[in-house]
Amino acid sequence: MSKRILVIQGHPDPERQHFCHALADAYSQGARAEGHTVKEIEVAALDFPWLRSAEEFEKGNPPPDIKSAQNAIEEADHLVFIYPLWLGDMPAILKAFLEQTFRPGFVTDSGEGMDTISTARRLKGISARIVVTMGMPGFFYRFFYRMHSLKSFKRNILQFCGIRPVKTMTIGMSGGSEVKREQWLKRLQGCGRQGI
């Protein structure tokens, strides 16, 4: 079954010469080859301010680029987030994008606060994959750091909004040697083909 897939590139550098961009391209290429529809959002290329208050979060009007991103998310069956680990977490620009985008009025039917557990999740039915690259070995992030930031993103943001299942992929040593990088790109292409 063909899916509508949205790839969200969270690398802060819009120049597109990083491994994260190669991973996104590999995923999209695989997905399109199997007939999935792929849209891409380059967070670094969007125009939006910092979100600065609860009032803005709960009652404000999202800027046009954020509104377009919300529409693209709503229309998708599957989201793919790709970003490098920066200071143990997602880069600030991606977090700023999530704060702008995943507002109560967007993720819940009632528009009530994110702390209202019983509120209907509008994004139910969408699945996701999170792909994180990092300088340290992947096993170190998984076992020593216990993937805290990744688990928080998965559970406290995506699953909280009804998005599931959420699969994760940690790519240590920024992909490793050329040979290893090629293997990662092939893996991403394979995930794209399967739309997972």
Ligand X SMILES: Cc1cc2nc3c(=O)[nH]c(=O)nc-3n(C[C@H](O)[C@H](O)[C@H](O)COP(=O)(O)O)c2cc1C
Residue ranges that bind ligand X, judged by CB under 6 A: 11, 18-20, 84-88, 133-136, 174
Nearest CB to ligand X, comparing residues 91 and 195? 91
Q: How far apart are CA 189 and CA 33, in angstroms?
A: 10
Q: How far apart are CA 11 and CA 5, in angstroms?
A: 19
Nearest CB to ligand X, comparing residues 72 and 136? 136
Provide, rounded to whole angstroms, the least separation between the CB of residue 102 and ligand X: 23
Residues 6+ apart with CB under 8 A from 80: 5, 6, 7, 8, 24, 27, 128, 129, 131
Provide, rounded to whole angstroms, the least separation between the CB of residue 133 and ligand X: 3
Nearest CB to ligand X, comparing residues 135 and 190? 135
Nearest CB to ligand X, comparing residues 115 and 178? 178
C-alpha triplet 191, 192, 196: angle, nearest 5°: 55
3-state SS class at 125: coil
